[in-house]
Amino acid sequence: QQQVKQSPQSLIVQKGGISIINCAYENTAFDYFPWYQQFPGKGPALLIAIRPDVSEKKEGRFTISFNKSAKQFSLHIMDSQPGDSATYFCAASDDYKLSFGAGTTVTVRA
């Protein structure tokens, strides 16, 4: 059972555009929500993370928006660049494990 639901499965964006990936969860015990970026053949790299007491966190071109009441969070990639083409995973953590969404493959067209 997927504890974290992620959408879309894939998206294509033009260079300079905005990529938006959404995630939803049910387990209210989750208290830490990271995003990971993965390139083919590599391990996932931690991109940005948020805790539920904050509604938004921004690091460079990457922003997490968090809606605790709706149990949803999203990643916005501003000014998307070809080097951002990768698979992005949202995740949520409780006392027992880090649960991942199914991933979103982002393709940035030059």
- Min dist. Cβ of residue 90 to other proteins (A): 10
State the chain's maximal CA–CA distance in angstroms. 42
Residue 32 or 55 with smaller CB distance to other proteins = 32
Interface with other proteins (CB under 8 A): 32, 34, 36, 42-46, 49, 89, 93, 95-103
Measured CA to CA, the distance from residue 66 to residue 106 in angstroms comes to 21
- Min dist. Cβ of residue 68 to other proteins (A): 19
> Backbone phi, then psi, for 84, in 5-degree steps?
-85, -5
Residue 18 or 45 with smaller CB distance to other proteins = 45
Measured CA to CA, the distance from residue 43 to residue 25 in angstroms comes to 24
- Min dist. Cβ of residue 10 to other proteins (A): 12
Do residues 76 and 18 lie in contact, with contact meaning Cβ atoms separated by under 8 Å?
A: yes
